[in-house]
């Protein structure tokens, strides 16, 4: 069973709830993938359509915030009754999910009251303006005061004489609402309202059927989202930074072949920000339109991206030892050529078979390492990123900084991270524009809104010539086969 005790019982609980049509209700959102949930066995109710159809679901972040931030505030470490704990966890998670996703109804009501004002902000993609319009600090203060009073009233023994003794300090629920539930609700509201008109545009590297396209489809499944292909990684960055696209999907690092140099360099030289990372398993197929599995010797040429070719060397030696391999800009371009040229093949994702009907898989899973992954980034403009960035409890940050070209400069800078116990997971150097002072792109665990990260960045200023936070985002889960 490749999941935690909680994950297993949450999934099984949601399967039962799905049978009872819980997730047919527009305010309910499962933590389990829809594909794993059964259809209801009782007739669906006819709900009046209030919301615009959407797939906004922040439950992955809800789970992370709950486990990493909320539980440590209300529970002590130690032995427990796992079954009872899991039952309580499931109830809490579903309650939090329902509470924050109800923000869709709130923002829809606000939109109906001021369609013109919201429409202008949506069309201009003014996320700061939208967030300001959505926020009512007086209402938030009244909510926090109500939470404090409830926690004080119900968190003590009413029969006790003398000063009250609380099971949980009333300020803890207030902190949970203020630092986690309210920001998550605003994030739901912002995601929903941005798609209220015609959705948004996502640029991706490659053409239909490329790995970036597959990742983009999985991450942006809302029907209102428009996916737009670009033939190079710099074009994706340019589309995002020039507002032709709201987001971009680009590969950063392959666990076998290393960095994608274009993405790496553009993180140093542009103002693009990272919103999220995705880790995807490398699953490559040998496809052709004119050759089948019984006569692989007829293949004269194999097309693919250089990294894909590198990831299949053992299989190529085994099945096609004398065939010429020609690198192209993307796996989907290779698939296109193989669909048009006789006696050729391509190394590509299975998705290309749906994109190019003439192609068929002639040798499945020809990648050399079943555990190999590619790390993809979702990028946006700086204003869009800053308006919605909030910690999940399990985050990482990427930043670029410069140091003077002298002995000990880099060591002094990195000592700031050690001082505040921040775990560095990656460091890369780059020289920009002929400068003799190097820039460094580092990745470390933590979020820019975490106190120790803020302290480390403040200390870093004394040892660097420049600092640019490229993004703070949730750590992507390891992909499952």
Instruction: Give the model confidence (pLDDT) of 20-35 as tens digits.
Output: 989 888 889 999 988 8
Radius of gyration of the chain (CA): 25
Name residues whose C-beta falls within 8 Å of residue 290's C-beta, 6 or more positions apart in sequence. 298, 342, 343, 344
Residues of the chain with pLDDT under 50: none
Only one residue has tokens 């994706």, namely 236
Tens digit of pLDDT for each residue in 77-86? 776 667 788 8
> 475 is written with which tokens?
């750590």
Do residues 331 and 349 touch, judged by C-beta distance below 8 A? yes
Q: Identify the pLDDT of residue 196.
A: 86
- For residue 222, the model assigns a pLDDT of 76
Predicted confidence at residue 387, as pLDDT, reads: 53
Q: Residue 236's pLDDT is what?
A: 95
Alpha-carbon gap, residue 263 to 265, rounded angstroms: 6
Q: Kindly report the CA angle at 315 between 313 and 317, in degrees rounded to 5?
A: 70
Q: Which secondary structure element, helix H or strand E, spans residue 107, and what is its range?
A: helix 103-113
What is the pTM for the complete model shown?
0.77
Q: How far apart are the first and last CA of the chain?
A: 13
For residue 84, give the DSSP letter. Answer: H
Q: Retrieve residue 124's tokens.
A: 């201009």
Rounded distance between C-alpha atoms, residue 273 and residue 267, angstroms: 8
Alpha carbon distance 427, 410 (integer Å):
11
pLDDT at res. 391: 86
Q: Are 391 and 397 in contact (CB under 8 A)?
A: no
- By three-state DSSP, how is residue 420 classified? coil
> How many C-alpha atoms does 394 have within 13 Å on its Cβ side?
14
Residues 88, 92, 93, 96: what is their CA dihedral angle, to the nearest 10 degrees? Answer: 180
* Predicted local confidence at residue 144, as pLDDT: 96
**Length of the chain measured in residues:** 481
């Amino acid at each position: 069973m490749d999941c935690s005790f909680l994950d297993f019982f949450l999934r099984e609980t949601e399967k039962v709830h799905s049978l009872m049509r819980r997730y047919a209700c527009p305010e309910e959102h499962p933590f389990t993938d829809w594909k794993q949930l059964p259809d209801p066995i009782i007739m669906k109710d006819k709900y009046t359509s209030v919301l615009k159809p959407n797939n906004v679901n922040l439950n992955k972040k809800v789970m992370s915030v709950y486990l990493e931030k909320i539980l440590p505030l209300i529970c002590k470490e130690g032995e427990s009754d796992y079954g009872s704990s899991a039952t309580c966890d499931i109830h809490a998670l579903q309650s939090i999910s329902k509470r924050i996703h109800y923000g869709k109804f709130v923002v829809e009501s606000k939109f109906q009251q001021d369609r013109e004002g919201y429409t202008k902000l949506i069309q201009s993609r003014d996320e700061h303006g939208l967030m300001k319009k959505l926020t009512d600090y007086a209402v938030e203060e009244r909510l926090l005061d109500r939470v404090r009073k409830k926690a004080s009233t119900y968190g003590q023994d009413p029969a006790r004489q003398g000063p009250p003794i609380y099971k949980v300090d009333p300020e803890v629920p207030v902190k949970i609402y203020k630092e986690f539930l309210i920001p998550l609700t605003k994030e739901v509201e912002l995601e929903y309202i941005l798609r209220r008109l015609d959705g948004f545009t996502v640029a991706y590297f490659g053409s239909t059927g490329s790995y970036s396209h597959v990742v983009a489809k999985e991450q942006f499944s809302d029907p209102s989202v428009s996916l737009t292909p670009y033939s190079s990684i710099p074009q994706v960055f340019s589309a995002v930074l020039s507002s032709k696209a709201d987001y971009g999907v680009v590969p950063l690092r392959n666990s076998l072949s290393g960095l994608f140099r274009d993405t790496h360099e553009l993180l140093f030289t542009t103002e693009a920000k990272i919103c999220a990372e995705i880790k995807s398993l490398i699953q490559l197929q040998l496809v052709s339109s004119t050759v089948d599995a019984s006569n692989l010797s007829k293949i004269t040429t194999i097309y693919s991206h250089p990294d894909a070719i590198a990831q299949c060397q053992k299989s190529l030696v085994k099945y096609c030892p004398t065939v010429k391999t020609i690198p192209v800009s993307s796996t989907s371009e290779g698939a296109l050529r193989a669909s048009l040229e006789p006696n050729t093949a391509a190394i590509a994702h299975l998705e290309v078979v749906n994109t190019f009907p003439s192609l068929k898989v002639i040798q499945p899973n020809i990648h050399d390492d079943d555990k190999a992954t590619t790390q993809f980034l979702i990028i946006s403009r700086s204003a869009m990123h800053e308006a919605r960035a909030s910690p999940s409890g399990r985050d990482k940050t990427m930043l670029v900084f410069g140091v003077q070209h002298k002995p000990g400069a880099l060591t002094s800078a990195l000592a700031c991270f050690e001082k505040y116990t921040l775990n560095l997971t990656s460091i890369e150097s780059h020289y920009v524009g002929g400068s003799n002072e190097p820039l460094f792109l580092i990745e470390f665990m933590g979020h820019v809104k975490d106190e120790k990260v803020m302290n480390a960045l403040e200390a870093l200023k004394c040892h660097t010539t420049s600092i640019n936070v490229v993004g703070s985002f949730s750590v992507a889960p390891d992909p499952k086969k």
